[in-house]
Amino acid sequence: MFSRKKQPPIKSLIAQGSRIEGEVHFSEGLRIDGEVVGDICAQPEQPSILVISETARVEGTVHAHHVVIGGQMIGPVHAQFLELQPRARVTGSVHYAALEMHQGAVVAGQLVPAEAAVLVEGKPPLELASSHP
């Protein structure tokens, strides 16, 4: 369904049992198995992948090109491609261009596709010519 381009390599890991407080900035790929309290941002305009594993807990805002969530996420998520695995628990708004949601994943918040973001910016929706009398 979605084209799978070669993903950037995961070069960084926040291991299970670790807790990071504060902003996390990364390039290419980051895997979180532990806990992060703070915002997580990939370098803009570059392909990136963020994996939040089943054992992970993140509290903050997430910005990355490709985000895979298998654990607990509290806060807004901004991704071009978002994959929610069966044990994903997201509390917060989810902004995406493409979404893959597995059975069992839970989102307690708004799902905002990229097209809806344009409407939020104040641009009027398109109207069909047949809708005018």
Mean pLDDT in the chain?
Answer: 88
User: Which three-class secondary structure state does DSSP give residue 131?
Assistant: helix
For position 1, what pLDDT does the model report? 42
Fill in the amino acid letter for 86.
P
Nearest residue to 90 (alpha-carbon basis) of 81, 98, 113, 78: 78
**Is the model's pLDDT at 126 over the cut of 90?**
no
For position 46, what pLDDT does the model report? 87
Q: Could you identify the residue written with the tokens 């979605």?
A: 2
Whole-number Å distance between alpha carbons of 109 and 27: 28
H helices of the chain, in order, are 114-120
- pTM for the model stands at 0.82
Please write the tens of the pLDDT for every residue from 18-32. Answer: 999 999 999 999 999
Please write the tens of the pLDDT for every residue from 35-85. Answer: 999 999 999 888 999 999 999 999 999 999 999 999 999 999 999 999 999
Mean pLDDT of 102-122: 78
Nearest residue to 47 (alpha-carbon basis) of 61, 32, 29: 29
For position 133, what pLDDT does the model report? 54
Which residues does residue 26 pair with via DSSP β-bridges, in sequence order?
42
- % of the chain with per-residue pLDDT over 70: 83
Going from N- to C-terminal start, the domains of the chain cover 10-131
**Is the model's pLDDT at 118 over the cut of 90?**
no
